[in-house]
Structures are given as structure tokens and as C-alpha cells.
Chain A
Amino acid sequence: DIQMTQSPSSLSASVGDRVTITCRASQGITNYLAWYQQKSGKVPQLLIYDASTLQPGVPSRFSGSGSGTDFTLTISSLHPEDVATYYCQKYNSDPFTFGPGTKVNIK
């Protein structure tokens, strides 16, 4: 099975900072990658699919890039409401594995 890793596992940044999270697949998954945001006590929410397509309603400060094995989620200017854990998920084939998550806090 393809393994998903994320880095860093956690980060602290200031409001307005540019934040980048990396997701890596152990084998190529073309662009079949989604990003989700999960705030404390809440249900995960889809941010990005197909590696770079923004889900309707998601703020434009979120963007995704990458293909093959290496992907990034970027928050261009961190807002206080972006405090959350971010997960990537592969969906090229079964099993549809999630990454371990990156926790984002405000410094």
C-alpha cells in the first residue's frame, strides 16, 4: 500500500505569515490528492481536490500544488481562524489513505 507522510507535524506562525505544508506519497498518485481542514471538535472540511482545485467557498488564501509524489498546501496569509489540523488524502486507488496531519497554531 502507498504510505502518506506530512511535514511538519506541527507549526506555529504569526498572523499574516505564509504557511506551507508538505504531503508526500511513497509512490506516484498523479494528482489524486485532497486536503482537508479540521478545527478542534469539528468535522473535517474539504479544502482542495485534484491537488490544486479549490473547493467552492474556500478562501482564496488556500492553494495546493504538486503531482506524482510531492504536494504542498499553502496558506498565503495566515488568519486566526486557520488554526486547525490539516490532512492530505490520496484517492488514486484503494486504500484511500489519509496523511498523519499537520497542526497549525498562531505564534
Chain B
Amino acid sequence: EVHLLESGGTLVQPGGSLRVSCAASGFTFSSYAMSWVRQAPGQGPEWVSVISGRGDTTYYAGSVKGRFTISRDNSKNTLYLQMNSLRAEDTAVYYCAKWDYNGLGYIDDWGHGTLVTVSA
């Protein structure tokens, strides 16, 4: 059974930095592209970033490009999102999400999320 466990969410001041993590189990982690998807309170999901299975290809939403960095450590089955220059509008639950086996781009497993609050 796929298990995705996010951690690291907390309250951070505007302009600050934070790294959230996702520990994966129940599947061959290095074979799957992984995404971060966020959901602000009362809003729909917003795709944030994706990284290929080997970690050599990444894409970002325009709203976070240049501020966020996605990475992975396949030896630890862990996905990361480094967030810099945080803004109030980055406040959201951040979900770790596993892509489909063929790497097309739909999400077939989600973690339960970690809450990041950006506020003074």
C-alpha cells in the first residue's frame, strides 16, 4: 500500500524560508515522478511542482518559479520542497503526490498534507 507522509509545515514569517518533506513507502519510489500540490483554505488544488523519478527534470508553476525548489533523495525515499521568499499567498496545505506509473501526469496517490502558514 502506498503511503506518503508529509512533514515540516509550520508558521513562518513573510520573506522566510521553509523546507517540507515527504516520506514515501509501499512502492518503488525512484520509478515515479512526484509532485507537490497545494490547497489554500477554501480553494481548489493548485499544482506547484514536479520532479522526475531520477530527479533530473523539474517543472514549476509560475507562481513559485524562482522561489521554490523541488528535490528528492531516492536512497531515502524522500521528496522535498524548499520554499524561499515566502508570501502570505503561499499559505496552504501542501500535499505530496505520486504520479501515474507511465509518467503522464495524473495523480493516483496523495499524502494527507502539511500546513504551511505565512504570517507575521
Binding site for B on A (CB under 8 A): 1, 32, 34, 36, 38, 43-46, 49-50, 55, 85, 87, 89, 91-92, 94-101
Q: How far is the CA of A91 from the CA of B37 in the complex (A)?
A: 14
| Alpha-carbon gap, A38 to B95, bound state (A) | 13
B113 A43 Cβ-Cβ under 8 A: yes
8 contacts between A and B (CB under 8 A): A34-B106, A36-B45, A43-B95, A43-B110, A87-B45, A95-B61, A95-B62, A98-B45
Closest to A95 in B: B61
The distance from the CB of B81 to the nearest CB of chain A, in whole angstroms, is 15
Question: How many residues of chain B are within 8 Å of chain A by beta carbon?
Answer: 20
Q: Which residue of B lies closest to A87 (CB)?
A: B44
A85 smallest CB distance to B (angstroms): 7
B104: A residues at CB distance < 8 A: 32, 49-50, 91
